[in-house]
Amino acid sequence: MIGLAIPMLNEEGNVELVLNEICTVLSQESYSYRIAAVNNGSSDETGRIISDLARKNKNIIPIHLETNQGYGGGILQGMKELEKSEPTVLGWMWGDGQISPQILPKLYESCTAGADIAKATRVLRHDGRKRKLISSTYARTMKWMGIETKDVNGCPKLFSLSAWRELELDAMDWFLDAQAILKAKSEGMYIAHHPVTMKKRIHGKSKVNWGTVAEFSLNMFKWKWISK
């Protein structure tokens, strides 16, 4: 079984398309699956749409958080629910529709073949100049701190169940993606990378901004010089 947590904050224009596309891809592969669709404190119709889809598809687990729990907090709530089903592989994917779910079978197969983590690495991007600049700032920050990795924030990220439990991730904010990779590297885990194209966002606005850069940089500083 594959389990996916999808955090969504004010994504009413993307919810139905994103969840239906994921379900179609996984069904075509004949995978048993569960999707934890997390309404992370949305103020629009995101929650209602998630509930409607869950009534039609029992593989979708609706999770409604009254207040936003942060990017990482929303994902961790979804992952906690998914663990109850003991999936072979579990992980998370964004709810903005910018990465095609067609990459999921490749990531899943990498994990079932022995990878501890399989992640998407964005090699071509159509997400705007600001987002590209922010991502390059992430990369420079990590390189400056002596940490080499490919697109640390790239998603989807899938984990073998044993790797997920060993990592014990707890970052409630945008540091969760980096925390996963940093802890995996420190434990000597095998990370498989698969190239993807990041499409232009069609509906809604990106939640990534310069505030997330400051947050990320502070967390990197704590990881490098305080938490050790």
* Per-residue pLDDT tens listing for the chain (228 residues): 999 999 999 999 999 999 999 999 999 999 999 999 999 999 999 999 999 999 999 999 999 999 999 999 999 999 999 999 999 999 999 999 999 999 999 999 999 999 999 999 998 877 766 666 666 776 666 666 666 677 888 999 999 999 999 999 999 998 999 899 989 988 999 999 999 999 888 777 766 666 676 776 677 667 666 555
What integer pLDDT is reported at residue 188 of this predicted model?
94
User: In angstroms, rounded to a whole number, what is the distance separating the alpha carbons of residues 168 and 63?
Assistant: 21
Long-range CB contact pairs, 17-25, < 8 A, 24+: 17/97, 18/95, 18/96, 18/97, 19/50, 19/53, 19/60, 20/53, 21/97, 21/100, 21/101, 22/93, 22/101, 22/104, 23/57, 23/59, 23/60, 24/101, 25/101, 25/102, 25/104, 25/105
Residue 147: predicted pLDDT: 63
Give the pLDDT score at 150: 77
Q: Would you state the pLDDT for residue 203?
A: 79
Q: Is 45 exposed, middle or buried (0-12, 13-18, 19+ CB in 10 A)?
A: middle
Question: d(Cα 139, Cα 193) in Å, to the nearest integer?
Answer: 16
- What pLDDT shows up at residue 201? 80
What is the CATH code of the structural domain delimited by 2-226?
3.90.550.10
Query: Where do the structural domains in the chain lie, given as residue ranges?
Result: 2-226
pLDDT of amino acid 124? 86
pTM given for the model: 0.88
Residue 131's pLDDT is: 65
